[in-house]
Structure 1
Amino acid sequence: MGKINYYIYEDKNFSNFYPLTYLRPIYDLRCGVFSLREKIEKCFNIKKINLLSRPILTDLLRETYPEFNINQFSEGNSVFINGRLIANRDLIKQVSFNFKNDVVYKTNNQVVIVCITDKTLKYFLTKWKRQGFPLLEDEDFVNFKEAQINANLASYPWDLIVNIGSEIEKDFELLKKKSQIKKIKHSDIVNPKNVVIGKHTKISSNVVIDATDGPVIIGKNVLIMPQSTIVGPAFIGDQTIIKIGAKIYSGCSIGEVCKVGGELDSVIIQSHSNKQHDGYLGHAYVGSWANFGAGTNNSDLKNNYSKVKAVINGELINTNLQHFGMLFGDHSKTGINMMFDTGTVVGICCNLYGAGLPPRYIPSFVRGTPEGPLKTNSLEMVIDTARIVMQRRNKILSDSLIKLLGEVFENTKEQRNKFNIL
C-alpha cells in the first residue's frame, strides 16, 4: 500500500470557537491533558502529521512548528482528519486505511475522517489550488463511499469544557505511566495509584491531592504551595505554580507556565496565563497570556437555573447547559474586583477594569470599564503590552504574531463598530 500521508485540517466551523481560534488553529485547543492535535497523533499513532489551517495562520504556525509541513501537500494515499475531533482509541476499530476506495467517515452527518486515494487526491490538489480554504466540504464527497462512526466532534468551546474530566481520565491511560508516588511529607495524597507527579515538582506542606473520583496529573517543575487542594480529574502543566490555599475542583486542565490561585471549577487554561489571586473562575475556557486581577469572579449558573446562552461570532447561541461561565481570549486582562455574568465572552487583547458587570459580549481589542464607554484598545498599546508580558516569560513577540494581531485587529473592526466602540 505504501506510504500514507496524514493531515489534520480546520473546517469552516473554526469561527464557532472565536475568540479562542483567532490566534491558533482549532486543533491547538486543549481538552484534557493534550491538545486536540496531540490526541489525534496519539490515538492513531501518527509519527508525522501535516497541518492544514486558514491562510492567515500559516506564518505563525511555521514559526511555532518548524518540524511540521504547514499547508503543504504530497502525492500519495492520504488521510484527512477533522481538527475538531476529540479522538479516542475506540476510533481505531471503526476506521480502515486500506484505500481500496475513497471513503468519508461521518458522525451525525458531520465529516470526521476522509481517506483519499492517490488518484483522487490529484483532482483535489488541482481544485484546492484554484479554490483555497476551506479545503474539504460536503459536496466534495458525493462519489465517496460513506461510513457512519461513533465519534466526538466539538461544535463549540463549551463542548471542550464539558469533556474535560472524562478526557483527563482517558489521557491518564494514554500516558502509560505507572504512578510511583512516594509519601510526601506533611501532605495528603488520596488514592495515590491515580496520581502522576512529574520530575522536579515540589509539593509543599499541607497540600491535599484527592484522586478518589479521577486521576490527578501534575507535570514537571511544578510548584504547589502550602494548603492547596486539587481534586481529580485534574491536570497541572509543566512549570505552573499553584498559589497558597488554591482550591482546584474536578475538571480543571491548566496548561504550562501558569500561576493559579483562588477557586477554579471545570476550567481550561491554555498556557502562560495568570489567575493567581482570590476569586472564582468556573466552567470557563481561558486563552494564553491572559491575566486576572485580584478578586475577579465569574458566574457560571443563572439564578433561575435556565440554560445559558452565549454570543459566538456575533450570533446568540443556546449552549443547552445549566453551567457555563465564560470564554476569555488571549492577551486579555482584568483589573481588581472585576465581575462577569453567566455566559460572558471576552475577545482577545482586551483590558477591562472598574466595578459592575460589563456586557456579556465584549469584542476583541477593547478597553474600559463597565460604566463605559468602552473604547478600542489600540494595536500599538496591545503590541507594547504583549511584548513586555512575553519578555517576562523569556518569550519573544515575533514578527509573525505582530502581523497576525494586526490582521485580526482589522478583521474585528466591524464587531467593534456594531457595538459603537470607537
Structure 2
Amino acid sequence: MLENVTFYNDPLLVQALRPLSYYRSLDQLWLGTSTIQDKWKAYSLNTTPSVPIAILGSLLPNTEMVQAIQQLSPNTALVQGNQVLAFSYELGQKPLPPSTSNKIAYSGKAQWIQHPEDLLKHQAAALLDEINPTPFDIEKYQALGNTILAPNNCFIHPSAQLKGCMLDASHGPIYIGEEVNLQMGTIIQGPAAFLKGSSTNLGAKIRPNTTIGPGCKVGGEINHSIFFPYSNKAHEGYIGSSVIGSYVNMGALSSNSNVKNDLKPISIFDYPQNKQRNTGLTALGLIMGDFVTTGIHSKFNTGSVVGCHCNISSQGFLPKFIPSFTWGEFPKLQIYQMGKAKQVACQWIGLKQQAIPENLAQVMEEIWKEEASFRT
C-alpha cells in the first residue's frame, strides 16, 4: 500500500537517465520483475494521512529505508550526501523538497539509480530477491518435451505455454509469468524473468540476469539485459549487458559488443555532460530509448547510446551515440521528420494493442527541442 505517498523526479537524475527517462517517470524504470514503484508496493509503508510523503523515484526500497521514511516529521527531508531520498510536505501543497535546513542524514544502506547502467548493476540482486519459486506439476511440462533443472527454483504461471524448452535454474531462479509463450528450443539460464505476455522465437538463448518485459518477443542470444515492455528482438543476433526501451524493433542479426578487446573500462555518452563518461565497467553494451527500429545486421559497439524515435541501420559499426530522431543507413544519417516518426510510433503502439498516450505528441516535441544541439 502506498497511501499518501508520491514519487518525485529529481531533475538532475532525470537528465542523467536519458534516454530512458523521456517516456517514463523515474519510478517507472524496470529491473528485476517489476518497476521501481511496484517494488515499493511490496512494503507496508504506513504514513500519517496529514503528513504526505514523497519518495525519490529511482530509490530502491529496503526494510530499514521504509522505517526511516515512516518516521519523518512534517516538512522534513531524509538525505544521504547531497541526495534527497524522501521528504514530507504540507497536505494540499505541491511535493517539493523543503528548502530549510530541516534535514535528517541517513546513514543506512541507500541505493538509487543514477545512470542507465545502474539498472544492470542491481539486476541480479533484484531477480534473486523478487522471484518466489512455487511448486508446479513438472510431469505436465515434461510430457511436452521440456527439461527443467532445479524445478524447485522456478515459478511458472499456469497460463504459460512451454514446449520443447530447457530451463536451468540450478544457479538462479527462473520466473515464467502469465500468458508467456516459449517456443521450441528455447534455453533459459537463471536468474531470469519473462513477464506477462512475453514470448520467444524458436531456439532463443536467454542467459543469466535477463528480464524480458511484458509483451516483448525475443530470439537469438540475450545476456544480462533488460527489455522494457512491448519491444521485439525476434531473430538471431546477440544483445548483452544492455537496457532496451519500449516499442523497439530490432532487425535480424542486430547485435552489440559488450566487452572491449583490451578489457578496459567502457565509456558511454552522458546527456547532462554532452560528452563521454567513464562508467568504470568492463561489460556494458547498449542503452536504447523508446521507438527505435534497427535494420538487419545493425552493429553496435561497446557503450553505445541510442535516443528515441530512430530508424537506423548500417553495414559497419554505428556511431556510439545516436541522438533522437535519427533516420537512415550510416554514414548517410538524416533527421527523422516529426510527422513520420509519430506515424510509425503509433503503428507500433497499435501492433502491441496498447492505447496511444495522450501526451505522445507533447513528449516528442520536448525530445525534439532538448536534443536539437545533438542533431547538429
Report the TM-score when normalising by structure 2.
0.92
**SS in structure 1 at match of 2:354:** coil
1:369 paired to 2:329 = yes
Query: Judging changes above 3 Å, is the alpha-carbon distance between structure 1 residues 200 and 107 closer, same or farther for their aligned structure 2 residues?
Result: same
Query: How many residues align structurally?
Result: 369
Cα separation, 1, equivalents of 2:357 and 2:86: 34
Aligned 1:58-77 pairs, distance under 5 A: 76-77=50-51
Cα separation, 1, equivalents of 2:122 and 2:284: 13
Query: Judging changes above 3 Å, is the alpha-carbon distance between structure 1 residues 394 and 169 closer, same or farther for their aligned structure 2 residues?
Result: same
Give the superposition deviation at 1:395.
2.4
AA paired with 1:33?
Answer: T
Residue 394 of structure 1 corresponds to 353
Residue 367 of structure 2 corresponds to 408
Query: Judging changes above 3 Å, is the alpha-carbon distance between structure 1 residues 45 and 201 closer, same or farther for their aligned structure 2 residues?
Result: farther
Query: Judging changes above 3 Å, is the alpha-carbon distance between structure 1 residues 29 and 145 closer, same or farther for their aligned structure 2 residues?
Result: closer
**SS in structure 2 at match of 1:356:** coil
Deviates more, 1:212-221 or 1:81-90: 81-90
Cα separation, 2, equivalents of 1:253 and 1:264: 10
Residue 11 of structure 1 corresponds to 10
**SS in structure 2 at match of 1:410:** helix
Cα separation, 1, equivalents of 2:180 and 2:306: 29
AA paired with 1:404?
Answer: V
Query: Judging changes above 3 Å, is the alpha-carbon distance between structure 1 residues 96 and 367 closer, same or farther for their aligned structure 2 residues?
Result: closer
**Residue 356 of structure 1 contacts residue 371 of structure 1 at CA under 8 Å; is this kept in 2?**
no
Query: Judging changes above 3 Å, is the alpha-carbon distance between structure 1 residues 195 and 141 closer, same or farther for their aligned structure 2 residues?
Result: farther
**Residue 188 of structure 1 contacts residue 208 of structure 1 at CA under 8 Å; is this kept in 2?**
yes
> Which of 73, 87, 101 matches 1:142?
101
Residue 26 of structure 1 corresponds to 26
1:208 paired to 2:166 = yes
Cα separation, 2, equivalents of 1:399 and 1:115: 31
Residue 61 of structure 1 corresponds to none
1:111 paired to 2:72 = no
> Which of 61, 70, 73 matches 1:87?
61
Query: Judging changes above 3 Å, is the alpha-carbon distance between structure 1 residues 22 and 368 closer, same or farther for their aligned structure 2 residues?
Result: same
AA paired with 2:326?
Answer: V
Report the TM-score when normalising by structure 1.
0.82
Cα separation, 2, equivalents of 1:46 and 1:265: 38
1:163 paired to 2:102 = no
Give the superposition deviation at 1:108.
4.3
Query: Judging changes above 3 Å, is the alpha-carbon distance between structure 1 residues 180 and 109 closer, same or farther for their aligned structure 2 residues?
Result: farther
Aligned 1:310-349 pairs, distance under 5 A: 310-313=268-271, 314-349=274-309
1:246 paired to 2:204 = yes
Residue 111 of structure 2 corresponds to 152
> Which of 226, 229, 239 matches 1:281?
239
Cα separation, 1, equivalents of 2:3 and 2:122: 31
> Which of 119, 129, 135 matches 1:179?
135
Query: Judging changes above 3 Å, is the alpha-carbon distance between structure 1 residues 165 and 100 closer, same or farther for their aligned structure 2 residues?
Result: closer
- In the TM superposition, what whole-angstrom CA distance separates every residue of 1:204-263 from its partner, at most 9, and x where no partner exists? 11x111111111111111110111111111110111111111110001011111110000
**Residue 76 of structure 2 contacts residue 102 of structure 2 at CA under 8 Å; is this kept in 1?**
no
Cα separation, 2, equivalents of 1:98 and 1:45: 11
**Structure 2 portions without partners, runs of 5+:** none
Deviates more, 1:178-187 or 1:279-288: 178-187
AA paired with 1:286?
Answer: I
Query: Judging changes above 3 Å, is the alpha-carbon distance between structure 1 residues 339 and 142 closer, same or farther for their aligned structure 2 residues?
Result: same
1:41 paired to 2:35 = no
Sequence identity (%): 27
**Residue 104 of structure 1 contacts residue 141 of structure 1 at CA under 8 Å; is this kept in 2?**
no
AA paired with 1:23?
Answer: Y
AA paired with 1:149?
Answer: G
**Residue 171 of structure 2 contacts residue 191 of structure 2 at CA under 8 Å; is this kept in 1?**
yes
Cα separation, 2, equivalents of 1:165 and 1:355: 34
Deviates more, 1:160-169 or 1:100-109: 100-109
Cα separation, 2, equivalents of 1:233 and 1:146: 35
Cα separation, 1, equivalents of 2:173 and 2:45: 23
Give the superposition deviation at 1:101.
6.1
Cα separation, 2, equivalents of 1:141 and 1:296: 51
AA paired with 1:223?
Answer: N
Residue 189 of structure 1 corresponds to 148
Give the superposition deviation at 1:181.
4.2
Give the superposition deviation at 1:75.
8.2
